[in-house]
Structure 1
Amino acid sequence: MTLAFPNNARSYDEARKRVRFSGHDGMFEVYFFVAGEVLRANSSSRTASEAEYLASFDALKPRILKAAQAAYKANCAQTIHLDLDNFR
């Protein structure tokens, strides 16, 4: 099966400063977490708000989905963490 992202939902995890979203490989749900450092790299602020993290995620969404597909292809895990290394 191919990894797909039919659900546009994403949520911010304040405690861990990351954004969570999911994808599907057939009937299997895959959880992705984008580190705050990835989202802050798009901002000049060192302390971003929830709205700023989500706006940054939305602005970077094509790159994030591409990185998510590559990370999933390399490691077909149910949970995948995306950090700056995934975007180099």
Structure 2
Amino acid sequence: MALAFPNQSRSFDDVNIGVRFIGHDGMVSVPFMVESEALRKMGFATQSESSTLAAFDAARTSIYEIARDVYSHARQTTYRITAADCV
């Protein structure tokens, strides 16, 4: 089954400084976190919680594509999208 993102919710992670979101592979929830540095590499400002969440929303389609790629390489319990994943 393909990784899908039917739930548009996301939350700011102030400990790891990034945005958490959930994908689904069939009935399995797949947690992701995109680092604010990855969003900056994509050209977005991330100085605050609100700007980081706005950056995520603006880049959502690209982030989902990157998440699918990261997910396809290996099965893990959680996935972290870093600046290195954003080429």
TM-score, normalized by length of structure 2?
A: 0.91
SS at 1:72 equivalent: helix
Query: CA-atom RMSD, angstroms?
Result: 1.3
Instruction: Provide the rounded CA distance (Å) in 2 between the counterparts of 1:23 and 1:87.
Output: 18
Instruction: Provide the rounded CA distance (Å) in 2 between the counterparts of 1:43 and 1:20.
Output: 17
Using the TM superposition, name which of 5-14 and 33-42 deviates more.
33-42
Tell me the CA shift for residue 76 of structure 1.
Answer: 2.1
8 Å Cα contact 1:29-1:78 kept in structure 2: no
Residue type of the partner of 1:63? S
Tell me the CA shift for residue 27 of structure 1.
Answer: 0.8
Count of residues paired in the alignment: 86
Q: Could you list the runs of 5+ residues in structure 2 that have no partner in the other structure?
A: none
8 Å Cα contact 1:40-1:53 kept in structure 2: no
TM-score, normalized by length of structure 1?
A: 0.90
8 Å Cα contact 2:9-2:21 kept in structure 1: yes
Runs of 4+ off more than 4 Å: none
Tell me the CA shift for residue 7 of structure 1.
Answer: 0.3
Residue type of the partner of 1:29? S
